[in-house]
Structure 1
Amino acid sequence: MNIYVCVKHVPDSAATITVAGKTGINEKITFLLNPYDEHAVTEAARIKASSAHTAVVAVCLGKAAAENTLRAAMAMGADRSILIETDQPHDSIFTARALAAAIRSDGQPWLVLTGKESIDSEGMQTQFRLARNLGLPVATNVVKVDASAESVTVECEREAGTVDVFCMAVPCVIGVGKGLNTPNYPTFPDIVKSRKKPVRRIGLAELAIERPPAGMYIQELVPDVERRSPRALMGSAAEIAAQIVDILKNEAKVI
């Protein structure tokens, strides 16, 4: 049985990101495995450990450099990986079609895991579109997984601590949240072993994906400029507290 984990190659949120042109960024920064996807890979490895004859396959749509992200996923427990190579960014509509096509070309999935979102675009759409393309049920922001050969029971966290419980037939798509587990960060021997694991490279054209009738495109990226006006608050503790309340109420208008 195959567990496919769809991962994304994203800029490090700690990096200084600068806009290049109107729609791109300067890519001379650190890229890494999307943090939400770390939880997905960790969960796939956990499920595999208790399931005989199971393989974990990481799948990524991205540039050649995305192999580094796939190597990170394999160091965390994936057995092999698939890189769908493209030089262009794609929206969630096309990305889902590409991921579904690569999975179908590789084998029959038992489970398909993703992070519930990526830290760069934060669209939270890919898992739903992927499920639609594969014709599978889907749940997102999953914080607990109980998998068997025939079905999967998941707990999905909602707002204000509400938890929904769903039972889905397999195969199915699971978008995991950060509350699911603690990522299994690799040791140095894990990293060394990952270098020997296979990466199957697929040119995007090889998948013969039909161009969707709808699409989303970046028109322009504009840096977010913080505007701060420092102000010294003078007086006793009570007077300063009153000034803070006045600022929050009448200027910031947050209370």
Structure 2
Amino acid sequence: MQIYVCVKHVPDTAANIKVVGENGFDDAGCKFIANPYDEYAVEQAVQLVEKNGGEVIVVTVGKAAAAATIRAAMAMGAHRGILVTIESQFLDSQTTARALAAAIQQDGKPDIIFTGKGAVDSEGFQTLYRLAAAMGLPVVNEINRLELVDGKATVGHEIGGGAREVLEVALPCVLGTTKGLNEPRYPKFPDIMKAKKKPVKEVAIADLGVSVDGAQSELVKLEKVPERTGAKMLGGDVRQAMEELVRILKEEEKVI
């Protein structure tokens, strides 16, 4: 099997991010990690190849530093990586999907393309759908169950309200993974050292015939969430406290 895993290089959710200008941040002073949801995708791909044979290829769109995230995925068991290099910090989902599709199609013929259900930085939750559309493939997101039988994938996912849905999808397909599908492995030191020797191909996005001009969405302004003040103690009886809470939510917090 030839399995591609799309992984995003994202700031650590615990990082202290310094906003620079109107729509940027200091990435040099920020710790980056592999998007947590993508780790389930890497683990699932590796498990399938360990069982059925084949190759796991990690594909990332990002700056040169994103190679570190590819190495982290290869330490988990992926065989090689492709880094589509860009200069900007942010890329719209349509352009990202086109770049991923071009890199995959240039490299080989996938049996499955895995992604995480979404990225923890921009939280657009669009890229895997746009990728599937660009490649003409079926797509299912937020899967927490997977079985492969006779060239088809049987996947399960929750659809809200506690209900679950089971779908049968023809291969090749795009599958978005989430918590519950597996337990991502923690790479050991020898795996980390081996990953440093595995090949990572770097290709500029322009060399794939994908233009970054004419994006359909643009990040206009980036703002840091203001720090919350201390807690308020509401006095009086229950009715008075509830009336004061509603007033605060409406007039001060402006959430209702």
Same-fold call, TM > 0.5? Answer: yes
Give the equivalent residue in structure 1 for 2:44: 43
Q: CA deviation at 1:228?
A: 2.3
CA distance in 2, matches of 1:210, 1:229: 47
Offset of 1:83 from its aligned partner? 0.5
Decide which moves more: 243-252 or 107-116.
243-252
Which amino acid in structure 1 is aligned with residue 174 of structure 2? V
- Does 1:252 find its partner at 2:217? no
Letter in 2 for 1:81: G
Q: Report the Cα distance in structure 2 between the residues aligned to 1:149 and 1:48, rounded to whole angstroms.
A: 16
Q: Residue 71 of structure 1 corresponds to which residue in structure 2?
A: 71
Structure 1 position 99, deviation (Å): 0.2
Q: For the residues of structure 2 that align with 1:119 and 1:22, how far apart are their CA atoms?
A: 21
Task: Evaluate the alpha carbon distance shift between residue 150 and residue 40 of structure 1 in structure 2; reply closer, same or farther with a 3 A threshold.
Answer: same
Query: 1:147-193 CA distances to partner (integer Å, 9 max, x unpaired)?
Result: 23511010022222221111011000001112212211211111111
TM-score for both structures, normalised by structure 2: 0.90
Cα distance in structure 2, aligned partners of 1:171 and 1:29: 37
Deviation larger for 150-159 or 224-233: 224-233
Matched residue type, 1:25? F
CA distance in 1, matches of 2:241, 2:198: 57
| Number of corresponding residues | 250
Identical residues among aligned pairs (%): 46
Once the two structures are overlaid, the 10-residue window that deviates more, 198-207 or 95-104, is 198-207
1:55-94 equivalences in 2 (<5 Å): 55-88=55-88, 89-94=90-95
Moved more, 218-227 or 189-198: 218-227
Change (3 A) 1:196 1:243: farther
Structure 2: segments with no counterpart, 5+ residues? none
Sort the Cα spacing of 1:130 and 1:229 in 2 relative to 1 into closer, same or farther, 3 A: same
C-alpha distance in 2 between matches for 1:252 and 1:195 = 52
Structure-1 residue corresponding to 2:5: 5
> Against the structure 1 CA distance between its residues 194 and 149, is the aligned structure 2 distance closer, same or farther, given a 3 Å change threshold?
farther
Residue matched to 2:196? 195
- Contact 2:234–2:244 (8 Å) recurs in 1: no
Q: What is the distance in 1 between the residues matched to 2:91 and 2:215?
A: 12
Instruction: Specify the alignment match of 2:209 in structure 1.
Output: 208
The answer to whether the Cα contact below 8 Å between 2:98 and 2:131 also exists between their aligned partners in 1 is yes
Give the Å deviation of 1:127.
0.5
Which deviates further from its counterpart, 55-64 or 219-228?
Answer: 219-228
Unaligned 5+ segments in structure 1 are none
Aligned residue type for 1:57: I
My pick for the range that moved more, 156-165 or 28-37, is 156-165
Partner secondary structure for residue 228 of structure 1: coil
> CA contact under 8 A between 1:93 and 1:212: conserved in structure 2?
no
User: Any idea what SS the aligned residue of 2:111 has?
Assistant: strand
Aligned counterpart, 2:175: 174
SS in 2 for 1:197: coil
Name the structure 1 match of 2:22: 22
Letter in 1 for 2:131: L
> What secondary structure, in the 3-state scheme, does the structure 2 residue paired with 1:252 have?
helix
Instruction: Describe the shift of the 1:138–1:207 C-alpha distance in structure 2 as closer, same or farther (beyond 3 A).
Output: same
Judging changes above 3 Å, is the alpha-carbon distance between structure 1 residues 45 and 26 closer, same or farther for their aligned structure 2 residues?
same
Cα offsets for 1:225-251 (capped at 9, x unmatched):
13425434679xxx6x77765554453
Q: Deviations over 1:61-95 (max 9, x none)?
A: 11100000000010111111100111123110000
CA distance in 2, matches of 1:167, 1:59: 26
Q: Secondary structure at the match of 1:41?
A: helix
* Letter paired with 1:63: K
